[in-house]
Amino acid sequence: MKRSTINTIMAEADELIRKYGFTLPPFAYWSPETFTDQKKRAQNVINARCGWDITDYGAGNFDEMGLFLFTLRNGRLEDLQRGGGMCYAEKLLISRQDQLSPMHTHIIKAEDIINRGGADLIVELFGSDDHGNFAEDKGGTVFCDGIRVDYAAGQKLKLAPGESVTLMPGDWHAFWGEGGDVLIGEVSTVNDDETDNIFREPIGRFATIDEDVAPTHLLVSDYAKWLA
């Protein structure tokens, strides 16, 4: 993805987020230079990989397959492993109309996917085989706003604004906006986007960036390069 495109997506996302009554934390608006100056104070943000995250999954066609994310807070895996402490994470996502977030599951993370505003969110579901692999003929069980839903393989849930679904490890899922763009909330256990996203197809989690202009704000994938 071109950095200029990423900068534009950031500006558009911030506008949509504000439209639905949310405001990002102050560090979201730091310039790369400010982030560099403040990196010692911001070490928790850096280590937790909180911040801007825009991906085309390495496919080079963001409008058709991509996702905007902002990680607001993220816990510690060691806390989760010992069963106490900061075991949670929270994100805001934007799924554009008909923009696919491709079929995937998680090994560790359980998550609530919440339609925070906009159009309908479509979530396509499949179950797992006995080894946790994608199973095209298996369904499963999820909870939508606490209400049990037994889903068949390939069933599509339609979540209107205010509605949510709880997904457990092994619930394979893809999602997209229907009828317009959707602001999505994600509340989950500790999040690790580098190792805990298992895709059905061999695709990447992060975009390859063409630095045609300077970044407005850093992506989480920029931290290792800019803040080393």
pLDDT in tens, 27-43: 999 999 999 999 999 99
Average pLDDT, the chain: 96
The DSSP H or E segment spanning 226 is helix 223-226
Q: What's the mean pLDDT in 129-150?
A: 97
Query: Does the structure show a pLDDT above 90 at 157?
Result: yes
pLDDT of res. 63? 95
pLDDT of res. 20? 97
For residue 175, the domain's CATH number is: 2.60.120.10
Domain that holds residue 160: 3-226
pLDDT of res. 180? 98
| CA quadruple 182, 29, 205, 199: dihedral, nearest 10 | -40
Total domain count, the chain: 1
- Would you give the DSSP letter of residue 51? E
